[in-house]
RNA sequence: GGCCCCAUCGUCUAGUGGACUAGGACACGGCCCUUUCACGGCCGCGACACGGGUUCGAAUCCCGUUGGGGUCACCA
């Protein structure tokens, strides 16, 4: 029997010294992110993609997108669209891949079947793979037996057919064949990983994995390795759940005579306050945590106001889309994500895209999983929102008002300047673009939506109706109608009444805006205009009177 | 269960043998500012999982224990 010790020596050597595949002297760094078209972009996936992107930009290389659709899906284009959209939204541009093509097109595995077939044949010819005629049940039975005997399972190769005779014999029995890897059964596979260091596994623990199905289609591991070679990928930076798959890929790489890429297995993003992998399907569980629930509810309120669905399948803080729909800033998301598992030093927390590119390195990626923290994400969003010029806030927020049917499309021409004033008055209160709906709806409605709690608390109290009536009367004398003049009038009013400002202003706010919270009171009054303020105060008096 | 990975405040992290009475950020608590809500300012709470080594000296290196996690497909 052939010894595979030699192989692993090669594995180690080629990784440490032959950094570049194909023996070329100066190959630029090339990385890839390989989504399968699932219809959504996972927050953990995008973090891995971000690391790839940053590393590549830093090295002046090319970042590509390859579509792992070997599992024959129907609507690849449809399921891919949200993913590509997410990449563009975040500003993670790919140099080659879907929609833009490139020298190695096509970048869809489903369109590269011929290449896989060629390589399967080479594997077969060299003896690194074999036809296997076992049924799934027969394999399962062997596995069960091994488990019963408490020994690690390795396939007996009972239905392995390496000669034409054996093949025809099995075929006469009516058996179907798959192609399996003939994995080494002694020696050690050594993986040099940029994040995890040296990882060793016994070849004997590896299975004879299937690389080609009975129908001739190939599986991920084979396709992935062939593509990485064809696309001249130099660095495979991927989630750590792929680490256990790496030996079989190393075996394929070496059997096919390719050079090994550099590997870097980044830890997965964990669920809030846990070490478990963040999963879209566990939303219910996360919603039991107050922080996560708040994040979700904030988004859901906006989604509801603009009439988009909130089913967990499409609207979910684990999916990147969520943040765009609610009106988060890509820079905030990216800055938050880059710090999830990577840091530059003990103090730098805000990075422009360029700074990120300039300072990123795989060596500083942490080797333990980092938990997704809604509060921290929120803090980054807060920070970037504060730095955004009002003009840009207006541009972001107008579409939300339109979708909420508060402003028509195209908007009346007075809306632009008004919205600018509102945004300025609201200041740091607007944390996401979608917040504009809650903070400004009353500017665009004939009458505010009166919140019952607010009415209860601030209007339905003894003396409020009379006080509002007297304050309303005073308004006739206010000129010019400015926040400053209004404040001055209010001060005169409380002095005359002998009350504190708190005894009147809350009632005015609720009467005029329908809520207890909002931008500066006097700004609201000014922007609303005298007529509407007077009308709403009357409305407030009515509600207060029915106490 | 086998194999592999991981382990510093609640969370993200700094720390690569002495500058560590362990630093920063978010969160949290208190106070101040304040018409609300935000913002801002000040102060505070808070961690090296455990046990053995190695060393003059260990958060840092080694071993073990415990705990957590990933993965074990004719999915990707």
In this complex, the nucleotide whose C1' atom is nearest to the CA atom of residue A136 is B74
A131 within 8 A of A124, measured Cβ to Cβ: yes
| Residue among A21, A22, A23, A92 at smallest CA distance from A56 | A92
Task: State the pLDDT confidence band at A151, using cuts at 50, 70 and 90.
Answer: confident
A318 within 8 A of A280, measured Cβ to Cβ: yes
Q: How far is the CA of A342 from the C1' of B14 (A)?
A: 11
DSSP one-letter code for A17: T
Give this prediction's pTM: 0.93
Which residues from 262-301 of A have any strand B atom under 7 Å from their CB? 267-268, 270, 273-277
> What residues contact residue A153 under an 8 Å CB cut-off, 6+ apart?
A142, A143, A146, A147, A207
A413 within 8 A of A392, measured Cβ to Cβ: no
Q: Mean per-residue pLDDT for A361-379?
A: 96
- Determine if strand B comes within 7 Å of the CB of A205: yes
> What residues contact residue A159 under an 8 Å CB cut-off, 6+ apart?
A132, A133, A134, A138, A170, A175
Q: What is the pLDDT of residue A73?
A: 62
Q: What are phi and psi of A188, to 5 degrees?
A: -130, 140
Residues of A belonging to the active site: 280
Q: What are phi and psi of A281, to 5 degrees?
A: -80, -10
Beta-strand relationship, A370-371 and A178-181: unpaired
| Percentage of chain A lying above the pLDDT 70 cut | 94
Environment class of A138 (CB within 10 Å of its CB; exposed 0-12, middle 13-18, buried 19+): middle
| Residue among A195, A261, A190, A189 at smallest CA distance from A232 | A261
Q: Which of chain B's bases lie under 7 Å from a protein CB?
A: 1-8, 10-15, 23-28, 35-39, 68-76
Q: Mean per-residue pLDDT for A377-397?
A: 97
Q: Is the pLDDT of residue A547 over 90?
A: no
| Residue among A39, A24, A30 at smallest CA distance from A76 | A39
| Residue among A222, A182, A189, A221 at smallest CA distance from A203 | A189
Handedness of CA A426, A428, A431, A433 (dihedral sign): positive
Residue nearest to nucleotide B70 (CA to C1'): A241
- Determine if strand B comes within 7 Å of the CB of A140: no
Q: What is the pLDDT of residue A150?
A: 85
pLDDT tens readout for residues A251-305? 999 999 999 999 999 999 999 999 999 999 999 999 999 999 999 999 999 999 9
Query: Length of chain A in residues, anyone?
Result: 547
Q: Mean per-residue pLDDT for A375-381?
A: 97
Cα–Cα distance for residue pair A340/A334, rounded to 1 Å: 10
Q: What is the pLDDT of residue A5?
A: 31
Q: How far is the CA of A370 from the C1' of B7 (A)?
A: 12
Q: How far is the CA of A518 from the C1' of B37 (A)?
A: 6
| Residue among A87, A51, A21 at smallest CA distance from A240 | A51
Cα–Cα distance for residue pair A295/A202, rounded to 1 Å: 45
pLDDT tens readout for residues A12-39? 333 333 333 444 445 799 999 999 999 9
């Amino acid at each position: 029997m052939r010894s595979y010790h030699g192989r692993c020596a090669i594995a180690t050597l080629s990784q440490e010294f032959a950094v570049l595949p194909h023996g070329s002297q100066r190959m630029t760094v090339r990385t890839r992110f390989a989504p399968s078209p699932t219809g959504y972009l996972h927050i953990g996936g995008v973090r891995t993609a971000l690391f790839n992107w940053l590393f590549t930009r830093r090295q002046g290389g090319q970042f590509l997108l390859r579509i792992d659709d070997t599992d024959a899906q129907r609507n690849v284009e449809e399921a891919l669209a949200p993913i590509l959209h997410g990449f563009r939204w975040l500003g993670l541009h790919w140099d080659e891949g879907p929609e833009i093509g490139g020298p190695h097109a096509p970048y869809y595995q489903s369109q590269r079947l011929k290449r896989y077939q060629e390589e399967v044949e080479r594997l077969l010819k060299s003896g690194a793979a074999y036809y296997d005629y076992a049924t799934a049940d027969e394999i399962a039975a062997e596995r069960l037996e091994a488990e019963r005997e408490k020994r690690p399972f390795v396939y007996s190769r009972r239905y392995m057919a390496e000669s034409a005779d054996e093949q025809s014999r099995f075929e006469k029995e009516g058996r179907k064949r798959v192609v399996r890897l003939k994995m080494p059964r002694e020696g050690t596979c050594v993986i040099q990983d940029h994040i995890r260091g040296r990882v060793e596994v016994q070849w004997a623990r590896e299975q004879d994995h299937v690389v080609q199905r009975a129908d001739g289609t190939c599986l991920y591991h084979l396709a992935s390795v062939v593509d990485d070679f064809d696309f001249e990928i130099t660095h495979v930076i991927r989630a750590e759940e792929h680490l256990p798959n790496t030996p079989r890929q190393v075996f394929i790489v070496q059997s096919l005579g390719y050079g090994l890429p550099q590997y870097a297995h980044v830890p997965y993003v964990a669920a809030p306050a846990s070490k478990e992998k963040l999963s879209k399907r566990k939303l219910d569980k996360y919603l039991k945590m107050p922080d996560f629930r708040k994040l979700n509810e904030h988004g859901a309120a906006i989604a509801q106001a603009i009439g988009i669905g909130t089913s967990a399948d499409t609207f979910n803080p684990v999916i990147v889309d969520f943040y765009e729909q609610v009106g988060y800033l890509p820079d905030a998301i990216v800055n938050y994500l880059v710090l999830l598992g990577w840091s530059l030093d003990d103090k730098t927390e805000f990075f422009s895209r360029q700074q990120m590119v300039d300072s990123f390195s795989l060596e500083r990626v942490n080797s333990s999983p980092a938990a997704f923290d809604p509060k921290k994400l929120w803090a980054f969003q807060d920070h970037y929102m504060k730095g955004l010029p009002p003009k840009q806030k207006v541009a972001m927020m107008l579409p939300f008002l339109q979708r909420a049917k508060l402003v028509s499309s195209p908007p009346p021409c007075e809306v632009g300047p008004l919205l600018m004033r509102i945004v300025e008055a609201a200041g740091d209160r607007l944390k996401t673009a979608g917040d504009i709906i809650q903070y400004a709806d009353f500017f665009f409605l004939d009458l505010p939506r009166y919140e019952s709690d607010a009415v209860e608390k601030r209007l339905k109290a003894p003396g409020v109706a009379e006080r509002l009536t007297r304050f309303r009367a005073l308004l006739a004398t206010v000129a010019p109608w400015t926040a400053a003049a209004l404040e001055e009038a209010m001060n005169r009013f409380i002095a005359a009444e002998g009350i504190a400002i708190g005894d009147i202003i809350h009632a005015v706010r609720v009467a005029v805006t329908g809520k207890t919270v909002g931008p500066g009171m006097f700004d609201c009054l000014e922007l609303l205009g005298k007529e509407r303020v007077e009308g709403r105060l009357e409305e407030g008096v009515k509600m207060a009177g029915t106490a």
